[in-house]
Amino acid sequence: MRDQYGSDAQFLLFVDQLAEVRDLLLADDVTKHRMALVAVDNLAEIVLHRHKRHIQKLAGETRRHRVPRVSQSDAAELNARFEARVRLGRKGGEDPSIDRLLRPILDELDDALFRTGHAYRNRVYHADHHNAAVLPLIARSYSGAVGRAFVRLQPTQTAHTIAIGMRQHLARYGYTGSRESWAEDYFPPAEAAEQIVTHLTADLQPTLPAAKAALREDIAWRTDWADDVICDLLREPGMSPERFAWGLRWGEFWSAHGTDDEVVTVDREVAEIRHRLLEMSDDAREKRDVLYARIDELENARNQRVQAMLRQFVPKLDLDRIAHTRRLGERLSTARDAGTLTIRYQKLDEAMQVIEDFLDDMAIGWGRHVQDEEERARGN
Predicted confidence (pLDDT) at residue 151 exceeds the cutoff of 80: yes
Last residue of a domain, one of 145, 172, 204: 204
Residue 90 per-residue DSSP state: T
Q: Is the pLDDT assigned to residue 102 strictly greater than 60?
A: yes
Full-model pTM: 0.69
Q: Are residues 172 and 238 in the same domain?
A: no
7 close to 193: Cβ distance less than 8 angstroms: no
Higher pLDDT, 366 or 81: 81
Q: Is residue 127 located within the same domain as residue 151?
A: yes
The pLDDT value given to residue 172: 93
Kindly report the length of the chain.
380
What secondary structure does DSSP assign to 135-188, as a single string?
HHHHHHHHHHHHHHHHHHHSPSS--EE--HHHHHHHHTTT-----SSS-TTEE-
Q: Is the pLDDT of residue 45 over 90?
A: yes
Q: Which range of residues forms the domain containing residue 279?
A: 212-377
Burial of 141 per CB tally in 10 Å (0-12, 13-18, 19+): buried
- Same domain for 115 and 258, yes or no, is no
Minimum mean pLDDT among 29-38, 41-50, 55-64: which range?
55-64
Of 188, 204, 220, the last residue of a domain is: 204
SS3 293: helix
Enumerate long-range contacts of 24-30, CB under 8 Å, 24 or more apart: 25/136, 25/139, 25/140, 25/143, 25/204, 26/204, 30/130, 30/132, 30/135
Question: According to the model, what pLDDT value does residue 219 have?
Answer: 92
Q: Residue 206 and residue 204: Cα distance in Å, rounded?
A: 6
* Mean pLDDT, residues 115-133 taken together: 83
Higher pLDDT, 39 or 232: 39
pLDDT at site 106: 93
When the pLDDT of each residue in the chain is averaged and rounded to a whole number, the result is 84
Supply the pLDDT for residue 64: 53
Which residue, among 96, 81, 362, 371, has the nearest Cα to 245 in the 3D structure?
362
Q: What CA–CA distance (Å, rounded) separates 318 from 366?
A: 18
Instruction: State the alpha helices, DSSP H only, in 188-284.
Output: 189-201, 208-234, 241-257, 261-279
Same domain, 170 and 37: yes
Which residue, 155, 170, 204, sits at the end of a domain? 204
- CB of 22 closer than 8 Å to CB of 201: yes
At residue 22, the pLDDT reads 96
Same domain, 67 and 141: yes
What per-residue confidence (pLDDT) applies to 1?
Answer: 41
Range of lowest pLDDT (106-120, 285-299, 358-372): 358-372
Query: Could you tell me which residues are beta bridge partners of residue 161?
Result: 186
Please indicate, yes or no, whether residues 14 and 48 belong to a single structural domain of this protein: yes
- Alpha-carbon distance 220 to 216, whole Å? 6
Same domain, 237 and 197: no
pLDDT reading at 143 higher than 90: yes
Are 87 and 180 part of one and the same domain?
Answer: yes
What mean pLDDT do residues 43-48 have?
96
The C-alpha atoms of residue 226 and residue 230 are separated, in whole angstroms, by: 6
Residues 6+ apart with CB under 8 A from 131: 217, 218, 221, 222
Q: Based on the fold, state whether residues 199 and 253 are members of the same structural domain.
A: no
Say yes or no to pLDDT of 149 above 80. Answer: yes
Burial of 107 (0-12, 13-18, 19+ CB in 10 A): middle
Confidence of residue 4 (pLDDT cuts 50, 70, 90): very low
| CA 60 to chain CA mean position, Å | 29
Is pLDDT at 99 greater than 70 in this prediction? no
**Same domain assignment for residues 152 and 296:** no
Which pLDDT score is estimated for 76? 83
Helix (H) or strand (E) holding 108: helix 108-127
Examine the domain organization and report whether 99 and 170 are in the same domain: yes
Same domain, 175 and 296: no
Distances (CA, A) of 27 to 20, 21, 33, 279: 11, 10, 8, 58
Min mean pLDDT across 99-108, 285-294, 322-331, 367-376 is at: 367-376
**pLDDT score of 177:** 80
State the total domains in the chain: 2
| List of residues 6+ apart from 287 with CB closer than 8 A | 280
pLDDT value for 304: 93
